[in-house]
Amino acid sequence: MTMTLTIMGTAAAEAIPDPFCSCRVCEVARREGGRHIRARATALVNDDLLIDLGPDLLTSANYARKYLGNLKGLLVTHQHSDHWLPQNLYWRKPGFTPTSMVPLTVYGPADALSELTPDLADSAHFVWQAVTAGDRWTVGDYTITAIPATHGGGYLEPLLYVIERDGRRLFYSTDTAPYGERAWELLRDLGPMALIVLDATAGERSGGDGHHGLAQFLETRARMIAEGILRPGYTQLVAHHFSHNGGLTHDELVEAYGRHDVAVAYDGMELAV
């Protein structure tokens, strides 16, 4: 095993339950608790590479009992505020966190990194590194490749990340609708993934042009197999990033995806790569 991915938050923007909502999915989540409760998406590779910085980051890290003081890098997928709340980084600065830490390098699309307030942008505790689709770089022992997502309607630059260590690759793939040809080209060049965590936001409904529902998820999986990115018997595939608007409770998602041998992420899920 070369990597462990902890999916600390697994919800879309409104969380589950959406505290303002009385739909069936939210009511079941409030009543049952446990895996029905989802915070906004954030994931951690081992203890030193964080993916996304959503509004629930601190609570989710504590729920998963993770220490974030060893981070070598942070990968930001896109500027939507359920994935990118840069103010979370204030609490890592001296004055709030007295234990000393090396500067953290934050990698993300230029439009997301341009949203910083001056006291973060100019802080000696962070290095801001804009990346774009097709870029490949290293963070410690990890080699990262940025893949273009299909998300945001053309108004922002959304990225997905392939993270590789010791010849094993994991593909963190939310938020996105089915990929464009440039993404397939980059993925094809990388070859089979040991783990794919794929957007499944819309449940039984269509994910439209920004997300996947179950039907699109299965189409993307079929193409991944055809392209040699998902190798049956080798690749773990996990459905991730859910909205109550998808109409399925956690248990119903487990049943619906389980019929196709796909695991469903829950907050705190740990996956060995």
Q: Which of 36, 80, 211, 221 touches Zn ion by CB under 5 A? A: 80
Round to whole Å and give the CA distance between 272 and 136: 23
* C-alpha triplet 67, 68, 74: angle, nearest 5°: 155
Q: Which of 52, 263, 256 is nearest to 158 (CA)?
A: 52
Please answer whether residues 145 and 127 qualify as being in contact, where contact means their C-beta atoms are separated by less than 8 angstroms: no
Q: In this chain, which stretch among 3-11, 29-37, 77-85, 224-232 interacts with Zn ion, using CB under 5 A?
A: 77-85
CA dihedral 7, 8, 10, 11 (to 10 degrees): -160
Write phi, then psi, for 39 (nearest 5 degrees): -95, 170
Among residues 18 and 267, whose Cβ is nearest to Zn ion?
18
Each residue 170-209 as x (binds Zn ion by CB under 5 A) or -, in order, gives: -----x----------------------------------
> From the list 2, 23, 137, 254, which residue makes contact with Zn ion (rule: CB under 5 A)?
23
**How do beta strands 195-199 and 236-240 pair?**
parallel
Selected binder of Zn ion within 165, 212, 221, 244 (CB under 5 A): 244
- 254 lines the binding site for Zn ion (CB under 5 A): no
User: Using CB under 5 A, which of the segments 2-10, 18-26, 61-69, 187-195 binds Zn ion?
Assistant: 18-26
Taking the least distance from each CB to Zn ion, the nearer of 76 and 194 is: 76
Of 21 and 120, which has the nearer Cβ to Zn ion?
21
CB closer to Zn ion out of 169 and 241: 241
Using CB under 5 A as the binding criterion, the count of chain residues that bind Zn ion stands at 9
- Closest C-alpha among 53, 13, 33 to residue 241: 13
- Taking CB under 5 A as the rule, does residue 82 contact Zn ion? yes
Question: Does 211 participate in binding Zn ion (rule CB under 5 A)?
Answer: no
Cα distance between residue 183 and residue 254, in whole Å: 28
CB of 143 to Zn ion, least distance (A): 25
Tell whether residue 221 is a contact of Zn ion (CB under 5 A): no
Output the smallest distance, CB 45 to Zn ion, in A.
19
Minimum CB separation from Zn ion for residue 148, in Å?
14
Q: How remote is the C-alpha of 62 from its chain's centroid?
A: 18
Q: Where in the chain does DSSP place strands (E)?
A: 4-9, 42-45, 49-51, 73-75, 104-108, 126-130, 136-139, 142-148, 159-165, 168-173, 195-199, 236-240, 263-264, 269-272
Site residues (vs Zn ion, CB under 5 A):
12, 18, 21, 23, 26, 80, 82, 175, 244
